[in-house]
Amino acid sequence: MSTKSTQPEEKGFFEKVKETIEEFWDGTKDKAEDLKEAVEDKYDDLKEKVTAKKPAAKRKVVAVKHEVADKAHTAATKTKTAAANAKAKTETKAKAIAAKTKKEVAAVKAKVKPATVKTAAAAK
């Protein structure tokens, strides 16, 4: 007879928690990178539109440049805020999961200690 188990080895609770946190973090990073790329593309598009038109009057050029800069700044600010919020949510979730895990571990340890004391007393 073989002593090898035919069933796959199950992951422990902490490995599952770790994987969940990693998935949250990877998702947040990917989303932030996508937002950054979208903002850069939009900025380039707006920049190309402004340079392609080149109005005759300098006042118009200055006004359009300020508008593009304001729009780009607004978009960049929104992206940074979204990324910061996503990161904060992920960190909050990770802390909540870690706290819950600690409570569960403490509860299990509390249950195990009295059982081991009773077993040791019964053995004597």
Q: 54 in the Ramachandran plot: left (φ > 0), alpha (ψ -120 to 50) or beta? A: left
Judge whether 112 lies within some domain: yes
Judge whether 4 lies within some domain: no
CA distances from 76 to 65, 68, 71, 90, 115 (A): 16, 12, 8, 21, 58
Judge whether 1 lies within some domain: no
End-to-end CA distance of the chain: 38
Judge whether 49 lies within some domain: yes
Output the pLDDT for position 5: 61
Q: What percent of the chain has pLDDT over 70?
A: 77
Output the pLDDT for position 29: 87
Number of domains in the chain: 1
Judge whether 65 lies within some domain: yes
What is the domain range of residue 30?
14-123
Judge whether 54 lies within some domain: yes
Residue 18 and residue 102: Cα distance in Å, rounded? 14
Output the pLDDT for position 63: 78
Dig out the tokens for 24 from the structure.
């949250």
pLDDT in tens, 70-98: 888 888 888 888 888 888 899 999 899 98
Judge whether 2 lies within some domain: no
